[in-house]
Amino acid sequence: MTRESVLQKLQQSVPEFRLNPEWIEESLGFPAINDFARFICSEAEASQWDEVRKSILFLERALIEGDSYVRDLVFECLETLDSCQSIEALKEYFGTKSLAM
């Protein structure tokens, strides 16, 4: 997973999360990943745990398959998630790679 493919893979993995098409066209990963973190928080607050699970699985996969740029994106997302009111509930869905960050 690379800068060029990460946003398309995100959209495929979590189709309920709507990416700004401009972010995909211009490979603007950081605004997209911060918006994704807000999406995860709002899904957790609404008890939409299937969406949370899919989202966290994508992050875990990105840590395993991604290059350094993608891992930096995931780190940014996890930092944003840390300020989420539901962070303790979210951590139950984290995999070993996510927890290690």
Instruction: Residue 92: give the domain boundaries.
Output: 6-100
**Alpha carbons 67 and 48: distance in angstroms, whole number:** 30
Q: Is 1 inside any structural domain?
A: no
pLDDT at residue 88, as a whole number: 85
- pLDDT tens string 11-59: 999 999 999 988 888 888 999 999 999 999 999 999 889 999 999 999 9
**Alpha carbons 84 and 67: distance in angstroms, whole number:** 26
User: What are the contacts of 77-82 at 24+ separation with CB within 8 A?
Assistant: 77/33, 77/34, 77/36, 77/37, 77/40, 78/37, 80/33, 80/34, 80/37, 80/38, 81/37, 81/40, 81/41
Q: Is 42 inside any structural domain?
A: yes
Q: Is 93 inside any structural domain?
A: yes
Count of domains forming the chain: 1
Q: Is 83 inside any structural domain?
A: yes
pLDDT at residue 53, as a whole number: 92
Average pLDDT, the chain: 89
